[in-house]
A and B are shown apart, each in its own frame.
Chain A
Amino acid sequence: MALNRKVAYIDLTTGKIETRPIPVSIRKKFIGGRGLDSYLVYNHAKPNCDPLGPDNVCVISAGLLVGTLASATARTHVAGKSPLTGFFGSCNMGGFFAPEMAWAGFHHLVLKGKAEKPVYLWVHDGEIEIRDAGNIWGKTVPEAQQAIREELGDEDIKVLTIGPAGENLVRFANVMTGVKNAGGRSGMGALLGSKNVKAVAARGTMDIKIAHPEEALDYNKKFIDQVTSAKVSQTQGRLGTPFIWGSTNSWGGIRTNNFQYNQLENADDVEAESIDKEVFGYAGCFACQVHCRGRYIIPTGPYKGVYDEGPEYTAQGAFAGEPGCTSKETVLVGNHLSNIYGMDLLEVGSLTSWAMELYEKGILTDEDTDGLDLSFGNDEAVIEMCHRIAYRKNIGDILAEGGLRAAKKIGKDSIKYLIHVKGMSNLHSDERATPALALGIATGSRGSDHLRSRPAIDLYHLPEPVLRKIYSQPVPYDGPLTSDYKDYEGKPWQVFWHETTYDAVDCLGICKYHTTFLGATLPNFEEWSKVIYYNTGLEMSPLDIWTVGERCYNIERLFNIREGLTRKDDWLVDRYFDEPTTRGVPAVQGRSIDREKFKKMIDEYYQHHGWDENGVPTPETLSRLGLDKEPSHML
């Protein structure tokens, strides 16, 4: 039974390990995955702790439905206080680690304290061991996984690991599993590194009993048909996420030369169709029919012949648009290096591009870069920065601290050019023409991030009745909704709706590509209610699941407020307001975000959440969600 998967508390300082069942009452409140992680972090991390110190915790989890029948039930979530932002840190990845951990009997591992020397955890069939990682420390992501499999003598072991970036406490280091499944954003890899934990290896052969197996099989078929019948899923399975690039660059939504333009010119080589020529097939995460991971071989240059997976849309932005490069090879190699070093390529690309703009402006000189020519469009410099950041060499060492700390070190007016929210670099997308998307990155609980709330379907010009159908369930909404992506009206509700939806799906452990993210007809609350029942026997209505999403988002908000977040942190950098776009389709050219209207959007967004004008959840909201006694230390 999925419901009998346990939580384990691992004290790395003392070596003591304690396991506990997760009561159904807690499941009903937080479901699992990201939701229960946020509860555990709020309850176990010492308030205002140093994120890289022993008082922080790192929670590694599998969502409630991981390993069961619902398609793409593959997601691992990792949470703690972020070494990058100082606020809630959280990452979510696919692959095969989470199901293996669930088959080994666990849904949540709470890592506390700090190991004296490098260790890894060995989780197998109800047991957890802390093992010496002396021989594995220093290895890249693929090397570490292979070494652990060899040491334990089982090819089927799945490993979550950090790479050199995590060991070197690069503040945006990832946790990784498999070839390219990346738990990126907010530096959970650095958090593991600070605890001297190189990896977690899992292998399980314990049954997850399905409550209603025949019904679950039949319903799963319908669920999958709903996912795969959407055109967007089919395109994604044919070209991977790079398919998003072409249209976005055409209309003018790709930040270029850091933030100077909103469209990359001469970009044919980095288009999805061009990248696809190097892809010999697509790969799926556990039980996924979308299979959006390209399997590619680098065609040219010093890394010719090397195998990797992806690249994602994010890699095209990080290694092409932002640094003003137009070479597919740079995208493929940059993606590869980020994967083997285990670091967030969004940060690598964004910070490198920022450094390039500083170099162009003369704020950084050849002396600062140790002779590296950081001109826009210099492919070699972009690749070199991957090495320098992972191993913290000169300018790379400064950038490895994250944008805000780096700006302090570099000084002058370097901060003026940094594109971030809450100290986290923005994705390469340019949101100046799309207020809904801009609001999403400004308010995201883990900092500037598109996977917290992005209402991507807002770009589709869906007719108002269609929007109303989507956004009026499972809670009624009769406020404004507009089809025009340039509008400010009604968008706060959309952002609020997507935040709640994505939090809920992160609790379940299903991939966001199987929900109302890129496709308007994909499953959400109604369907989840059924898959939860057929798989676990737990009866939760669509509204119950929605409320869990709300509750979990509020606990992340409570954590952030405890760690010092105020309303001014839910804001964009000045360039979004002061520098109009210069490229793209006519409707997009010359656009910037309107400060007053944006302020109103935030007010409205807070109201939907039940937060006061400072963005603090009101006592009524906390009581409605049963959070008025947090931290409650129930688990």
Chain B
Amino acid sequence: MAKVLMVDYEKCTGCRMCELVCSVKHEGVSNPARSRIKIVKWEWEGRYIPMACQQCQSAPCMAVCPVKAISRDEELNRVVVDYDMCIGCRMCVAACPFGAVKFDTLASKVIKCDFCDGDPQCVRFCDTKAIQYVDASKINIEKQRAAAEKFLGIMQEITATLAKV
């Protein structure tokens, strides 16, 4: 089963290790400006949201690309850029609703998450597991269980109340 990045916003501590390892893995440098993932922060509210490519099924970047340089790699369930075809027009940057495709001004090319070819470094180094690499079919399961637990609690309460009555 193809995998996806699953983000649990509550677990993110805002440390930006993911940004660091992403740029080291892809470019051999430490430079968040060249990272494919970014932690967007509301510092004075203590809220941190990791943002990366969602690898959309129907990807706007792919649709808008005038030279068909962007395609889906079904094996790894990702959207990839073929740099031999890419003309660097940045239409994909404009089209992405998540801001997840960006233009690397140092390398003069568009960049986006490629799952590190199946071993995403952001996941490898995320100590709190705020970012996980899981089967697409399992992404809802934790939330489903958490929601079910709430129902379970209510049902137990009702049973207990009825028993008292």
Q: Which of A67, A228, A280, A289 contacts B30 (CB 8 A)?
A: A67
* Residues of chain B from 117 to 165 with CB closer than 8 A to chain A in the complex: 121, 124-125, 127-128
Q: Is B30 within 8 A of A179, CB to CB?
A: no
Q: Which of the 9-residue segments A82-90, A205-213, A491-499 touches chain B?
A: A205-213
Q: Is A103 within 8 A of B46, CB to CB?
A: no
Which residue of chain B is the closest to A295 with respect to CB atoms? Answer: B46
Q: Is A69 within 8 A of B33, CB to CB?
A: no
B31 at the interface (CB under 8 A from A): yes
B21 at the interface (CB under 8 A from A): yes
Q: Is A206 within 8 A of B31, CB to CB?
A: yes
Which residue of chain B is the closest to A294 with respect to CB atoms? Answer: B46
Q: Which of B30, B45, B48 contacts A69 (CB 8 A)?
A: B30
A281 at the interface (CB under 8 A from B): yes
Contact partners of B127 in chain A: CB under 8 A: 224, 228, 289, 291
CA distance A286 to B44 in the complex (A): 17
Q: Is A209 within 8 A of B29, CB to CB?
A: yes
Q: Which of B14, B30, B31 contacts A283 (CB 8 A)?
A: B14
Given contacts A280-B46, A281-B10, contact A287 B31 (CB under 8 A): no
B43 at the interface (CB under 8 A from A): yes
B106 at the interface (CB under 8 A from A): yes
CA distance A207 to B127 in the complex (A): 25
* Residues of chain B from 16 to 34 with CB closer than 8 A to chain A in the complex: 16-17, 20-21, 24-25, 27-34
Given contacts A67-B20, A228-B127, A283-B46, contact A291 B15 (CB under 8 A): yes
Q: Is B24 within 8 A of A69, CB to CB?
A: yes
CB distance from B80 to the nearest CB of A (A): 22
CB distance from B122 to the nearest CB of A (A): 12
B77 at the interface (CB under 8 A from A): no
A285 at the interface (CB under 8 A from B): yes
Q: Name which of B31, B106, B127 has the most chain A CB atoms within 10 A of its CB.
A: B127
A323 at the interface (CB under 8 A from B): no
A220 at the interface (CB under 8 A from B): yes
B54 at the interface (CB under 8 A from A): no
Contact partners of B71 in chain A: CB under 8 A: none
CB distance from B1 to the nearest CB of A (A): 26
| Binary flags per residue of A159-183, CB closer than 8 Å to B gives 1, else 0 | 0000000000000000000110000
Q: Is B28 within 8 A of A213, CB to CB?
A: yes
Given contacts A142-B44, A224-B127, contact A69 B25 (CB under 8 A): no
Contact partners of A228 in chain B: CB under 8 A: 127
Q: Is B17 within 8 A of A289, CB to CB?
A: yes
A309 at the interface (CB under 8 A from B): yes
A216 at the interface (CB under 8 A from B): yes
Contact partners of B29 in chain A: CB under 8 A: 207-210, 213
Q: Is A281 within 8 A of B31, CB to CB?
A: no
Which residue of chain A is the closest to B46 with respect to CB atoms? Answer: A295
CB distance from B11 to the nearest CB of A (A): 8
Contact partners of A96 in chain B: CB under 8 A: 16
Contact partners of B28 in chain A: CB under 8 A: 209-210, 213
Q: How large is the interface on A (under 10, 10 to 19, 20 to 34, 35 or more residues)?
A: 35 or more
Given contacts A178-B43, A281-B46, contact A207 B31 (CB under 8 A): yes
Contact partners of B124 in chain A: CB under 8 A: 221
Q: Is B25 within 8 A of A217, CB to CB?
A: yes
Contact partners of B25 in chain A: CB under 8 A: 213, 217
| Binary flags per residue of A268-284, CB closer than 8 Å to B gives 1, else 0 | 00000000000011111
Q: Which of A69, A283, A289 contacts B20 (CB 8 A)?
A: A69
A241 at the interface (CB under 8 A from B): no
Q: Is A208 within 8 A of B31, CB to CB?
A: yes
Q: Is B31 within 8 A of A103, CB to CB?
A: yes
Q: Is B15 within 8 A of A286, CB to CB?
A: yes
A307 at the interface (CB under 8 A from B): yes
CB distance from A235 to the nearest CB of B (A): 15
Q: Is B13 within 8 A of A283, CB to CB?
A: yes
Q: Is B46 within 8 A of A221, CB to CB?
A: no
CA distance A289 to B18 in the complex (A): 11
CA distance A53 to B121 in the complex (A): 49
Q: Is B30 within 8 A of A210, CB to CB?
A: yes
* Residues of chain B from 68 to 95 with CB closer than 8 A to chain A in the complex: none
A627 at the interface (CB under 8 A from B): no
* Residues of chain A from 288 to 307 with CB closer than 8 A to chain B in the complex: 288-289, 291, 295, 307
A515 at the interface (CB under 8 A from B): no
CB distance from B145 to the nearest CB of A (A): 21
Q: Is B24 within 8 A of A207, CB to CB?
A: no
Q: Which of A179, A286, A287 contacts B43 (CB 8 A)?
A: A179
Q: Is A289 within 8 A of B15, CB to CB?
A: yes
CA distance A608 to B48 in the complex (A): 47
CA distance A216 to B125 in the complex (A): 13
Query: What are 23 A-B contacts with C-beta separation under 8 Å?
Result: A67-B20, A69-B30, A103-B30, A179-B43, A205-B33, A205-B106, A206-B31, A207-B29, A207-B30, A208-B29, A209-B28, A209-B29, A210-B30, A213-B28, A217-B21, A281-B10, A281-B13, A281-B46, A283-B15, A285-B15, A287-B16, A291-B15, A291-B127
What 19 new A-B contacts, CB under 8 Å, besides A67-B20, A281-B46, A283-B14? A69-B20, A96-B16, A103-B31, A103-B33, A209-B28, A209-B29, A210-B29, A220-B21, A221-B125, A224-B125, A280-B46, A281-B10, A281-B13, A286-B20, A287-B16, A287-B17, A289-B15, A289-B128, A291-B15
4 smallest CB-CB distances across A and B, nearest first, come from A284-B15, A295-B46, A205-B33, A207-B29
